[in-house]
Structure 1
Amino acid sequence: MTSCGVYMFAGSRRAREADVIVVGSGAAGLTAAILAHDHGANVAIVERSPYVGGTSAVSGGGIWIPTNSHMHEVGVADSRDEAFAYCKSLTMERVEHALLETFVDTAPTMIRYLEDKTDLRFTALSTPDYHPEVYGARGGGRSLEPVPFDARTLGDWQSRIRVPNALSFPVTLQEAFVTYQAFYRPWKVPQDLVVKRMANGLVTMGQALVAGLLKAVLDRRIPILLNSRANALLRDGGRIVGIRSVLNGQRVEMRARAVILASGGFEWNEDLKAKFLSGPIPAPNSPPINEGDGLLMAMEVGADLANLSEVWHYPSVAIPGETYEGREMVRGIKAERSGPHIIWVNGQGKRFVNEASSYNAVGKIFFSPDTSLPAYRNLPAWAIFDSQYRAKYVVGTTMPEDPDPEWLSKAETLEELANKVGIHPDGLADTVRRWNMFVAEGKDREFGKGDSAFDRFQGDHEASHPNLGTIERGPFYALPIQPGALGTKGGPRTDCRAQVLSVRGEPICGLYAAGNVAASIAGPAYFGVGGTLGPAMTWGYLAGLNAAKET
């Protein structure tokens, strides 16, 4: 028995027989478990890894919630109709309007419920929506984050939360984005603040979100079976009546009246990626447990599928030798994308995107096909910058005062740099010349870097222009950029109750889905900071609520 007074219940009769089984322990799954329990169901959670939290635990923990009750904290008012219009515009008629309306109407209720019924508390971020010039967008407030949470309240379970892969010290998103601009100058984060929070057991971002949800699960004595990998759904006629899993190496059948799939995406499954994605994601930003278990289970019972070619794009850099759970680790980048004195080019030496756009929008451009060759036009790609950038900002994990690392290509001239890494030298020279001309004019006339309020928010607030700066002082540098992904966003279709639909469009009795395992209600879009977790937790809320009614 842990100090929280809860057993892990591995192999117990209570865990093997439940009204509702939740597959996965990320934010969507934990939210679903809480709601199902609170509405009368006996719930069990199965998690394939030794840790709780899934992708949510390694995320920034932002949650995009339109019309939430915290928006006044940053002086912003919202409109339900304008929030719906914004979502409708970004999804480009690829998502049923009823699903978008359900999200807009339910998301603020979900957040209020968690604040009323758990120890979690949220606060508004000042970050704008990712497309603030689109009708219905807001310049801040729709994105929430959990306030720092005392993980010591979890007792022995504190060590069972999945550790971050890159975001490792306890600052909030607001502090990272605005207060200290830590993505440009991490050394500005006060060390005494970090030390104090660590000494007091305070966690932030995705760690805080998962810790708060886990505390609520433990308070409700909901059993969690770790090291239990679900691999099949049990059926009785047309109804789902449980799961088959492998628990500590033993095959186990667990019976239930409803199953909620919340097991993450398929971005680490090479076979499924090759079948469904429109381009390569060599090393995702998520935990390597996301191999499409839930997708395969849903396919086996005839679930309809949608949005399978889409991912939550996140352009990244790979630092040689860095691994996470034995797999290559990549780091999502911000300063190397949005800051001044830096541009991105392809093999022809040409820019191909507004680098400061949202990471999801930028990531899509990697997969543009070359119409004359069987290749991607913008792969490989490099960030090109000069000594001005290098002297001011972090590059990957390298600080300005550090020696240049071996993995960062460097040359005294642009021509030498281009030849060194395999970029067309004349193309690069012309591109940099044009870029410097745009900087002198104060406007990027090619891709509009710096035009959007979101670009400027993401840029360096201390620079003369947050996004524009010349590239003219050697030495010059080339940093390889690769496609990354926070997760896939395609899978079984669900209805407004979070119930999985069959290929005939009928609900599959007893089966629900939430989070990256399911076809996202965002379709091709990314609404703002927390655009993954907002819909995921809202669908978790709906799944738990409606699955409990099955009992």
Structure 2
Amino acid sequence: MTGMKPTIRRAEHMPAAAQDSHVPVAIVGGGACGLTAALLLHDLGVDCAVLERDATPTGSSALSSGFIPAPATQVQRDLGIADSPERFAADIGAKAKGRAAPHLVQAYARAIGPALDALQQRHGLQWQVLDGFLYPGHSVRRMHAVPEKTGVGLMGRLANAAAAADIPLVTDAAVRELWADDTGLVIGVGYERPDGTLEHLSCDAAILACNGFGGNAAMVRELLPEMRDALFAGHTGNDGSAVAWGRALGARLADLGGYQGHGSWAIPQGALISWALMMEGGIQVNALGRRFHDETEGYSEASVHVLAQPGGVAWNVFDAPILALARGFPDFVDAEAAGAVKHCDSVQALAAVIGCDEAALAATLAGQGPYPRPAARPLQAPFCAVKVTGALFHTQGGLDIDAQCRVLDTAGRPFPNLLAAGGAARGVSGDAVWGYLSGNGLLSAVAGGFIAAHTAAHQLRSTTGTTP
């Protein structure tokens, strides 16, 4: 790719050839958000095309754990788990301390269950509810995963479903241009091919399901300065295109201080270590062998705590029962195979691995210090340790949207036919790192894609009087 900048072009100058290549709905981005929107549009009888910058649809979704929180799904009901959108919304709001957008909290909490059920019933995605532990901030077991329990597995199944539905998926197509008139009506897109050529596609509506801005160092310095020096562990497609287009169109931005960090990024392997280990009694210690935060508060805010430690590193410490749990996650198995897990048969050996004072570490393991964990059993030898740092995974702020995922201008009015969800839009984590409830990223992607599809279908029916 030549790296052309995201641009807004005037509608009257759009190449005439683009009119020969037309689709009712153009979806920018082939991650979980874009593919969910495409599958639901297919169910609603609306033709669409997905434009994906990479050779295969992966994006931030493939780098995630692949776990999606949802209440009142068929799988939950089959397991006898009592949950509701209202309870889920309360958990989201509590984690964000009331600073998440109420209209989106309610909309996403109501939509995510039907979205997962539709993907299962109509497109064959099989969900299972993770058992044995609760992620921080969730009051019931509601974390759903495909059998692979990975983001790669989730994306593979969504892509296979899209292929089975004959949904056009144009890969190696990095959208660089939105063509819009003076009212903000989007009439088409221009996308760059690997050889640098531009192709165009006209449309009746556009869904931005593309990215956040975590991979754009200049935007991070400007909009998210507290993470300006953090390692970015997200997808390179998070280049801020949606923010750039929004600014050029006069869209309103919101919750730019919100993001998902993670305090458990294994180094030097570059692998995510599941926070389930912390929730089951694992601890984080710094280079001095001391705990420095309450791990049960959440892995997102843990990123800031870890980065504040000497050298910006910490060690995840756990024992054999927790190791057995961890080996149920394929990502952990891969990290262990890569050498991320150090096995120690005693406190002395563990202190040697960490490079800390044995007595200080022994005191920490005995529960001494300012962060007691009364509900957790004491860790016992043999121990395991993983060296980690804090990382920025994806931003949670972006284009302001209403409950129908319509992009809003600076006066709060919706653009005629421009929708956004997932990383392109504000999420439900508020404007700070501690507002991120586990799974909020994929919640925004899948629930947002579901809502955006219904909104686009309704808009097209209103415009044409018929279903496209």
**Shorter-chain TM-score above 0.5:** yes
Could you tell me which residue of structure 1 aligns to residue 315 of structure 2? 383
- The CA distance in 2 between the partners of 1:255 and 1:478, in whole Å, is 54
- Judged with a 3 Å threshold, the aligned counterparts in structure 2 of structure 1 residues 93 and 401 are, in CA distance, closer, same or farther, namely closer
Q: Specify whether residues 13 and 511 from structure 1 end up closer, same or farther in structure 2 by C-alpha distance, changes over 3 A only.
A: closer
CA RMSD of the aligned region, Å? 3.8
Match of 1:222 among 164, 167, 177: 167
What residue is the counterpart of 2:364 in the other structure? Answer: 435
Mapped pair 1:518 → 2:425? yes
The 1:111/1:398 distance shift into structure 2, 3 A limit, reads closer
1:68 to 2:73 alignment:
yes
TM-score normalised according to structure 1 size: 0.68
Per the alignment, do residues 129 and 298 of structure 1 end up closer, same or farther by CA in structure 2, a change over 3 Å counting?
Answer: farther
The correspondence for 1:352, drawn from 279, 292, 308, is 292
Does the residue aligned with 2:105 lie in a helix, a strand or coil? helix
Match among 224, 230, 248 for residue 300 of structure 1? 248
Higher helix share: 2
Alignment of 1:503 with 2:410, yes or no, is yes
The AA in structure 2 aligned to 1:218 is: A
The one-letter amino acid paired with 1:143 is M
Tell me whether 390-399 or 490-499 shows the greater mean CA deviation: 390-399
Q: 1:355 to 1:402 in 2, by over 3 A?
A: closer
- Aligned-partner residue type, residue 177 of structure 2: A
1:17-69 per-residue CA deviation (whole Å, 9 max, x = no partner) reads 11111011111101111223333433111111111132223333211112222
Secondary structure, counterpart of 1:101 in structure 2: helix
Query: 1:496, 1:546 → 2: CA distance?
Result: 10
Q: 1:50 aligns with which of 52, 55, 58?
A: 55
Q: Deviations over 1:427-478 (max 9, x none)?
A: x67743542442xxxxx66223363xxxx6xxxxxxxx3xx3268x9xx998
Judged with a 3 Å threshold, the aligned counterparts in structure 2 of structure 1 residues 14 and 537 are, in CA distance, closer, same or farther, namely farther
Mapping 1:270-349, distance limit 5 Å: 270-277=217-224, 278-280=226-228, 282-320=230-268, 329-334=270-275, 337=278, 343-345=284-286
Whole-Å separation in 2 of the counterparts to 1:276 and 1:21: 28
- The answer as to whether partners of 1:23 and 1:260 remain within 8 angstroms in 2 is yes
User: In structure 1, how many angstroms separate the alpha carbons of the residues matched to 2:420 and 2:398?
Assistant: 9
SS in 1 for 2:373: coil
The alpha-carbon deviation at position 257 of structure 1 amounts to 1.6
Q: Secondary structure in 2 aligned to 1:483?
A: strand
Name the structure 2 match of 1:449.
373
In structure 2, the partner of 1:163 is none
Aligned position for 1:168: none
Distance 1:505 1:386 in 2: 49
Change (3 A) 1:15 1:33: farther
**Would the alpha carbon gap of residues 271 and 252 (structure 1) be closer, same or farther in structure 2, given more than 3 Å must change?**
same
Give the counterpart of 1:263 among 206, 210, 218. Answer: 210
TM-score by length of 2: 0.79
- Listed one character per residue, the Cα deviations across residues 496-530 of structure 1 (whole Å, up to 9, x for unaligned) are 001111121111221111112211123253334x3
Contact 1:515 1:535 (8 Å CA) reproduced: yes
CA contact (8 A) 1:280 1:483 kept: no
Q: How does 1:91-110 map to 2 (within 5 A)?
A: 91-110=96-115
* Aligned counterparts of 1:240 and 1:514: Cα–Cα separation in 2: 16
Give the AA of the match of 1:95.
A
Count of residues in correspondence between the two structures:
429
Matching of residue 484 in structure 1 with residue 416 in structure 2: no
SS at match of 2:286: strand
8 Å contact from structure 1 (residues 19, 258) kept in 2: yes
1:27 counterpart = 2:32: yes
Describe the shift of the 1:258–1:403 C-alpha distance in structure 2 as closer, same or farther (beyond 3 A): closer
Question: SS at the partner of 2:390?
Answer: coil
Q: Which moved more, 1:428-437 or 1:61-70?
A: 428-437
Q: Structure 1 pair 337/76, CA: closer, same or farther in 2 (3 Å)?
A: closer
C-alpha deviation, 1:97, in angstroms: 1.9
Task: Indicate how the Cα distance of structure 1 residues 387 and 268 shifts in structure 2: closer, same or farther if over 3 A, else same.
Answer: same
Query: 1:512–1:470: structure 2 CA closer, same or farther, 3 Å change rule?
Result: same
Per the alignment, residue 464 of structure 2 pairs with none
Q: Pick closer, same or farther for the CA change 1:17–1:281 going to 2, 3 Å.
A: farther
Match of 1:540 in 2: 449
Flag the 1:40–1:295 CA change in 2: closer, same or farther, 3 A. same
- 2-structure distance, mates of 1:58, 1:311: 16
Instruction: Say if 2:278 and 2:295, in contact at 8 Å, map to a contact too.
Output: yes
Are the aligned partners of 1:295 and 1:492 in contact in 2 as well (CA < 8 Å)? yes
Match of 1:362 among 289, 302, 307: 302
Cα 1:365/1:221, change in 2 over 3 Å = same
Offset, 1:124: 2.1
SS in 2 for 1:363: helix
Please state if 1:242 is matched with 2:183. no
> Using the alignment, how far apart are the partners of 1:47 and 1:33 within structure 2?
12
Match for residue 179 of structure 1?
Answer: none
Partner in structure 1 of residue 465 of structure 2 = none
Post-superposition Cα deviations, 1:120-172, rounded to whole Å, max 9, x if no partner, equal 2222222554345xxxx5331x111224xxxxxxxxxxxxxxxxxxxxxxxx4
Aligned mates of 2:156, 2:348 — CA distance in 1: 46
| Alignment CA distance shift 1:436-1:218 (3 Å) | closer
Tell me the secondary structure at the aligned position of residue 108 of structure 1: helix
Q: Secondary structure at the match of 1:449?
A: coil
Q: In structure 1, how many angstroms separate the alpha carbons of the residues matched to 2:187 and 2:414?
A: 14
Would you say 1:206 and 2:116 are equivalent positions? no
1:69 and 1:510 map into 2 onto residues whose CA distance is: 33
| Corresponding letter in the other structure for 1:272 | M
Which has the higher mean CA deviation after the structures are superposed, 337-346 or 511-520?
A: 337-346
- How much has 1:206 moved relative to structure 2? 2.6
Aligned-residue offset at 1:229: 0.8
Q: Give the Cα separation in 1 of the matches to 2:340 and 2:112.
A: 45
Identity rate of aligned residues, in percent? 22
- TM alignment of 1:452-467, pairs within 5 A: 465=377
Structure 1 residues 387 and 496, CA, compared in 2 at 3 Å: closer, same or farther?
A: closer
- 1:112 deviation in Å? 2.2
